Amino acid sequence: MLKIKNLSKSFNAETENEINLFNNFNLTIEKNKCTAIIGPNGCGKSTLLNMICGSIAADRGQIYLNNNDISKLKEEQRSNNIGRVFQDPSMGVSPSLTILENMALADKKGEKFALKRLIKRNNIDKYKDLLMTLDLGLEDKLDTKVKFLSGGQRQSLSLIMAAMKHPDLLLLDEHTAALDPKTSNVIMKKTKELIKKYSMTTIMISHNMKDALEYSDRVIMLDKGEIVLDKPSREVSEKELMGIYIAKLNEFVA
């Protein structure tokens, strides 16, 4: 379970461009559930994820993961229990390394290791089995450098790597936004399978209303750092979401 208490964050403090994005923000994410977070650009979606994983420091407040206060931990310390897939297919992988080397790196997450001893041959079959679940043939391309893969293949690999150690929390930051519709659909189905298989608590940022409803248990809409909708996904329609979303966009334009 993830619990956020009285979280506050501002940018450009004490200047004419000061932005108070979050002010005493509170949120509880249920364990083993997928929560979709939606909202217009600038509403705070990615900032919230960045504060959870530690890449951006909150001004005030606490973040608890499974009742452990992680608020003061550095990003690399939090990453031992948090997996993340980014919008850019290249950010979750090392393009200059092979598929096998990337898998081995993900397998060593949170451990000390030497590069010369990175790959253990008795783990290769395990990596192949994980890659086979993607149905992309990557298990037969272990020695291929990731930079030669398509965007969809990279994102699929990134997803498998993020879930490999069964993190307490999986963060999906618009992880299909850079993909074509067909590939996006494949990635979303694989995402759902992995979340269910490993019972991972998941936060998924999405601009796709249909995906937000279809692949989550709960949907939250943010606007300027505040929750304006919070419902079980089965109790809200895509039409309702779009209506609120467009209304918020019109407010911004006005």
Segment 194-223, tens digit of pLDDT: 899 889 999 999 988 999 999 999 999 999
- Range from 39-43, 51-55, 130-134, 147-151 carrying the lowest mean pLDDT: 39-43
CA distance 200 to 178: 24
Report if residue 110 sits inside a domain.
no
- In this prediction, residue 173 has a pLDDT band, given cuts at 50, 70 and 90, of very high
Identify the domain containing residue 225 by its residue range: 2-90+166-253
Per the domain annotation, does 129 fall within a domain? Answer: no
Structural domain includes residue 72: yes
Looking at the 3D structure of the chain, how many domains does it have?
Answer: 1
pTM given for the model = 0.90
**Per-residue pLDDT, 97:** 93
76-85 confidence digits (pLDDT tens): 899 989 999 9
Q: Which helix (H) or strand (E) holds 222?
A: strand 218-223
Summary mean pLDDT of the chain: 90
Mean pLDDT value across residues 101-106: 91
Per-residue pLDDT band for 112 (boundaries 50, 70, 90) equals low
CATH no. for residue 23?
3.40.50.300
CA distances from 94 to 7, 97, 103, 157 (A): 33, 6, 10, 11
Helix (H) or strand (E) holding 29: strand 19-29
Asked if residue 203 is part of any domain, the answer here is yes
Q: By the 8 A CB rule, do 172 and 201 touch?
A: no
Residue 99 lies in a domain: no
Task: Decide: helix, strand or coil at residue 8.
Answer: strand
For tokens 């979709």, name the residue: 36
- Is 153 part of any domain? no
Rounded Cα gap, residues 214 and 217, in angstroms:
8
Q: Is residue 151 part of a domain?
A: no
Residue 42's pLDDT is 82
**CA distances in angstroms from 60 to 12, 79, 81, 131, listed in the order given:** 16, 21, 22, 41
Segment 123-138, tens digit of pLDDT? 899 999 999 988 889 9
- Across residues 135-161, what is the average pLDDT? 93
Q: What's the Cα-to-Cα distance from 195 to each of 48, 159, 168, rounded to whole Å? A: 21, 10, 11
Sign, Cα dihedral of 144, 148, 149, 151 = positive
Instruction: Give domain status of residue 181, yes or no.
Output: yes
In this prediction, residue 116 has a pLDDT band, given cuts at 50, 70 and 90, of low
- Determine what percent of the chain is predicted with pLDDT higher than 70: 94
